[in-house]
């Protein structure tokens, strides 16, 4: 439409001249040639927006086979109604391809890519359920019953955090936390639940996965091992469901209080851990690097206030860190542990998904939803969005 209207606006003599040139160009038989696709500029940024300013996005999953990037969404404007969605954006255009209404607020995501299944965690206290979606069609296939973890009569709050699907075990591993009521001493519990992907019911747990407060969970498909973290880092065999190793972080500098994200580089026997001290000025927020064999601390990189999530890119040997309160995304060089690049995004970068083979990083960008928030500047009507970063081709 744009080209056609532009041509109509040209003077008549220009059209004649253009036609003359075109006739000259095509006076010889033409060969059908498909131009080679131009690579996207390195670190070019592209965004896809949620449809409503009242919606808030959380975890992100990328599915290259279906050219989709998906995000869990809640309806913040109607929080008391416990409404949620899952968006699927086209990887190339960053336009929504499907949007599925969910029975509850949606927070965490995990994938069974071989069977095109997306699992959605409804982690707030009330539902405590998991749903399953067909990735190809966007159809909601099933929402499980409320997960049974606590005994009958439990008083307090419960929640679900991150989860991963492990194909070798054909099981979902789900981070669970609870706090009992004041009358019972406000006791806190952190568990790693094992959930059946068909029935969406709890079928077990990994004992000792979270010996103290902890939320981080990561799966290394190369080594086929799970990792959990908080004030510790544990290695877990998903088949035996046992802790098979740990990294002693007691002497880490600065002192570890709250690891929120993990990224494992098993080829080089190291783990990157995003550290975030809530309500602090961020002096000790950043990324630790530990040797998985010796437990030695290799580095601590101060990336910015609120380092909340991290991904490691084995092709480029670099780690990507979302610094929530700083409003930045840092790129850490895996050789010298220096910040080689930093993007100042503006909104609040949150969870991310890496497609290293196809040179793409996706990051959820949140917005301050209330003028009374201390998180950052409130912009009325601002929509949350997914950011795509084109990575250098290697």
Domains of the chain: 147-246 (no CATH), 248-344 (2.40.10.480)
Please give the average per-residue pLDDT across 214-236, as a whole number: 96
Q: Is the pLDDT of residue 74 over 80?
A: yes
Question: Which residues have C-beta within 8 Å of that of residue 119, sequence separation ≥ 6?
Answer: 109, 110, 111, 112, 130, 131, 132, 133, 163, 165, 172, 197
Cα gap 357→360, rounded to integer Å:
8
Would you state the pLDDT for residue 79? Answer: 84
Of all residues in the chain, the percent with pLDDT exceeding 70 is 86
pLDDT digits (tens, 9 = 90+) for 119-166: 999 998 789 999 999 999 999 999 999 999 999 989 999 999 999 999
Q: What integer pLDDT is reported at residue 4 of this predicted model?
A: 36
Find the range with the poorest average confidence among 39-48, 203-212, 385-394: 39-48
- Cis before residue 17, ω within 30 degrees of 0? no
With a CB cutoff of 8 Å and minimum separation 6, the contacts of 50 are 57, 73, 87, 383, 384, 385
Q: Does the pLDDT at position 288 exceed 70?
A: yes
Residue 280: per-residue pLDDT? 62
How confident is the model over 232-267, as pLDDT tens digits? Answer: 999 999 999 999 999 989 899 999 999 999 999 999
- The closest of 335, 336, 302, 298 to 321, measured between CA atoms, is 302
Q: Hey, how many other C-beta atoms are within 10 angstroms of the C-beta on 46?
A: 16
178-196 confidence digits (pLDDT tens): 999 988 889 999 999 999 9
Of 173 and 126, the structure prediction assigns the larger pLDDT to 173
Q: Which helix (H) or strand (E) holds 6?
A: helix 2-8
- The residue written with tokens 């930093």 in the block is 342
Short-list 273, 265, 171, 168, CA closest to 217: 273
Q: Which residue has the higher pLDDT, 71 or 394?
A: 71
- pLDDT for residue 127: 94
Name the most confidently modeled range: 39-53, 187-201, 280-294: 187-201
**Look-up of token digits 């998904």:** 353
Mean pLDDT of the chain: 88
Place 276 in a pLDDT band, splitting at 50, 70 and 90. Answer: confident
**Predicted confidence (pLDDT) per residue in 367-377, tens digit:** 987 666 656 66
């Amino acid at each position: 439409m744009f080209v056609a209207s532009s041509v109509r606006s040209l003077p008549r003599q220009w059209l004649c001249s253009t036609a003359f040139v075109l006739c000259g160009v095509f006076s010889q038989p033409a060969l059908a040639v498909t131009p080679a696709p131009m690579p996207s500029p390195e670190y070019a940024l592209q965004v896809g927006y949620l449809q409503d300013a009242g919606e808030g996005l959380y975890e992100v999953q990328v599915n290259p086979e279906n050219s989709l990037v998906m995000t869990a969404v809640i309806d913040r404007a109607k929080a008391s109604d416990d409404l949620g969605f899952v968006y699927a954006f086209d990887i190339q255009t960053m336009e929504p391809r499907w949007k599925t209404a969910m029975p509850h607020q949606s927070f965490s995501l995990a994938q069974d890519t071989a069977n095109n299944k997306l699992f959605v965690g409804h982690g707030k206290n009330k539902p405590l359920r998991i749903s399953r979606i067909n990735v190809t069609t966007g159809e909601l296939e099933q929402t499980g019953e409320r997960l049974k973890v606590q005994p009958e009569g439990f008083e307090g709050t419960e929640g679900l955090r991150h989860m991963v699907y492990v194909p070798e075990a054909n099981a979902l591993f789900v981070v669970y936390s609870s706090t009992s009521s004041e009358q019972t001493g406000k006791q806190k519990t952190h568990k790693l639940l094992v959930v059946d992907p068909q029935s969406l019911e709890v079928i077990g747990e990994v004992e000792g996965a979270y010996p103290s407060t902890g939320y981080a969970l990561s799966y290394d498909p190369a080594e086929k091992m799970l990792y959990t973290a908080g004030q510790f880092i544990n290695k877990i065999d998903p088949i035996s469901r046992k802790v098979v190793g740990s990294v002693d972080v007691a002497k880490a500098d600065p002192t570890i209080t709250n690891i929120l994200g993990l990224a494992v580089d098993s080829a080089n026997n190291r783990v990157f851990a995003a550290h975030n001290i809530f309500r602090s000025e961020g002096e000790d927020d950043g990324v630790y690097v530990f040797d998985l064999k010796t437990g030695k601390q290799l580095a601590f990189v101060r990336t910015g206030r609120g380092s909340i999530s991290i991904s490691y890119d084995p092709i480029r040997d670099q780690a990507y860190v979302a610094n929530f309160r700083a409003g930045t995304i840092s790129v850490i060089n895996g050789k010298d542990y220096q910040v080689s690049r930093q993007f100042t995004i503006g909104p609040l970068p949150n969870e991310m998904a890496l497609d290293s083979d196809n040179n793409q990083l996706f990051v959820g960008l949140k917005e301050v939803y209330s003028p009374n928030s201390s998180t950052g500047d409130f912009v009325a009507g601002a929509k949350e969005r997914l950011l795509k970063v084109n990575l250098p081709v290697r």
